[in-house]
Amino acid sequence: MASQNDNKLFHQLIQNQRGVKKVNTDVMIFNAKEQAEPEDILEGWKNYFEDLYRSHKTDDDTKYNTERLILATMQNEIIEQIETNRNEEIKQANEEEVTLSIQKLKTGKSPGADGISAEHLKNMPTELLQYIINIISLIFAEKDVYSNVKEGVVTPVLKYVKSGKDKIYPENYRGITVTNYFSTLIESILKDRIKPKHLPQQSKLQRGFTEKSSSLNAAFIVTQSADFYKEILAQLVLLTLDAQKAFDKLDHEIYLQ
């Protein structure tokens, strides 16, 4: 339940979990078949995450209303077409905002798929800065992010170590993805540009993906609401959503409408 903006606590929890020896296992079971060789386990994880990615389109339990899916797909295609026709130019990156984004990078973290870490960018020769600015500006000009920039390294982390989850089954793990640091720079630049326009329109009650907003605030609202409804002897209905169902199983066409 680490707050969204407490990045250090989040990574500390992951580090602590990885450091617990009981989490390690030499055997995994994929599709009811036991695997003990490192190469087979690695292949098993690869297939597991690929199947999980495709599951929102193939699982019988995750079928969505066909009419709604078609409508959502059409809406998204129309929005994309409108934005394409507008052909609004994206302002080119400048030295100040790229330098600021590099300064924001957290050190001591794992490198991305390309092997580049935050330390590489923070300690690079100043001559390289202009090359990075040029690449980002080219991406903005073409409005297309290269596929290798979008790559990430997925690490399976056991859910709730102390809860006794069986570590030999892949469904008891969640995938933690380390993205490419170059993509982090692009996201940081765009976020700083969008934030001043977006925040005033955002609900004051939203906690997720919001800086300086803790889940404790949401917990306080829930507990106070529960106490109030107990006092007036009325029914209170709270709805919760499993994050896995939201991001691993939900059809993204519907999610993005």
pLDDT band at residue 134 using 50, 70 and 90 as cut-offs: very high
Mean pLDDT across the chain: 80
The pLDDT assigned to 123 comes to: 93
Looking at per-residue pLDDT, the higher value among 55 and 114 belongs to 114
Would you tell me the crossing angle of helices 181-198 and 95-104 to the nearest 10 degrees? Answer: 110
The per-residue DSSP string of 207-221 comes to -TT-TT--HHHHHHH
227 is written with which tokens? 């106490």
156: phi then psi, degrees, rounded to nearest 5: -75, 130
The CA distance from 62 to 233, in Å, is 37
Looking at per-residue pLDDT, the higher value among 128 and 171 belongs to 128
115 has a pLDDT exceeding 80: yes
% residues pLDDT > 70 (the chain): 77
The pLDDT assigned to 202 comes to: 80
User: Per mean pLDDT, which range of 63-77, 153-167, 180-194, 243-257 is the poorest?
Assistant: 243-257
The pLDDT assigned to 156 comes to: 87
Looking at per-residue pLDDT, the higher value among 225 and 76 belongs to 225
The DSSP bridge partners found for residue 173 are: 158
The pLDDT assigned to 2 comes to: 45
Alpha-helical segments (H) within 24-106:
38-58, 66-86, 95-104
CA 134 from centre of chain? 27
230 has a pLDDT exceeding 90: yes
| CA-based radius of gyration for the chain | 22
pLDDT band at residue 61 using 50, 70 and 90 as cut-offs: very low
244 is written with which tokens? 């896995």
The CA distance from 95 to 97, in Å, is 6
Q: How many CA atoms, within 13 angstroms, populate the side-chain half-sphere of residue 47?
A: 9
Tell me: the pLDDT tens digits for 8-37? Answer: 655 665 555 555 445 567 889 998 888 888
Which helix or strand (DSSP H or E) is residue 182 part of? Answer: helix 181-198
The pLDDT assigned to 201 comes to: 84
pLDDT band at residue 52 using 50, 70 and 90 as cut-offs: confident
222 is written with which tokens? 């829930």
The CA distance from 197 to 22, in Å, is 47
Looking at per-residue pLDDT, the higher value among 19 and 75 belongs to 75
Would you tell me the crossing angle of helices 95-104 and 129-142 to the nearest 10 degrees? Answer: 110
The pLDDT assigned to 120 comes to: 93
Tell me: the pLDDT tens digits for 162-183? Answer: 556 688 888 888 888 888 898 9
Q: Name the CA dihedral angle for 12, 18, 20, 25, rounded to a multiple of 10 degrees.
A: 170
Tell me: the pLDDT tens digits for 231-240? Answer: 999 999 988 7
180 is written with which tokens? 């490419």
Which whole-number Å values give the CA distances from 50 to 34, 44, 95, 173, 203, in the listed order? 19, 10, 38, 14, 35
